[in-house]
Homo-oligomer: A and B are copies of this chain.
Amino acid sequence: MNFQQLRIIREAVRCNFNLTEVGNALFTSQSGVSKHIKDLEDELGVELFVRKGKRLLGLTDPGQELLEFVDRILLDASNIKNLVEQYSKRDEGQLTIVATHTQARYSLPKVITEFKKAYPKVHLKLHQASPNEIVTLLLSGEADIGMATEALADVSKLDSFPYYSWYHAVIVPRGHPLEKVQPLTLKALAEYPIVTYHEGLTGRAKIDKSFLDAGITPDIVMSALDADVIKTYVELDMGIGIIASMAFSPAKDSDLSLINCEHLFGANTTYIALRRGHYLRSFAYRFIELCSPRLNETTIRAGVVLPPAR
Checking B2, B65, B66, B84 against A46 with a beta-carbon cut-off of 8 angstroms, the contacting residue is B84
Number of copies: 2
Checking B2, B77, B84 against A62 with a beta-carbon cut-off of 8 angstroms, the contacting residue is B84
Residues of B contacting A79 in the complex (Cβ-Cβ under 8 angstroms) = 69
Contact with B along A258-279 (1 / 0, CB 8 A): 0000000000000000000001
Checking B62, B73, B85 against A83 with a beta-carbon cut-off of 8 angstroms, the contacting residue is B62
Task: Given A72-B72, A73-B73, check contact A66 B88 (CB 8 Å).
Answer: no
Checking B3, B61, B80 against A44 with a beta-carbon cut-off of 8 angstroms, the contacting residue is B80
Task: Given A72-B76, A73-B76, A77-B73, check contact A84 B3 (CB 8 Å).
Answer: no
Query: What CA separation (Å) do A65 and B80 show in the bound complex?
Result: 9
Query: What CA separation (Å) do A69 and B279 show in the bound complex?
Result: 10
The answer, yes or no, to whether A87 is at the interface (CB within 8 Å) is: yes
**Which residues of A line the B interface, CB within 8 A?**
1-3, 44-46, 61-62, 65-66, 69-70, 72-73, 76-77, 79-81, 83-88, 279
Task: Supply 16 A–B pairs (Cβ within 8 Å), ascending by A.
Answer: A2-B2, A44-B80, A44-B81, A44-B84, A45-B84, A45-B85, A45-B88, A46-B87, A62-B83, A62-B86, A66-B83, A69-B76, A70-B80, A72-B76, A73-B73, A73-B77
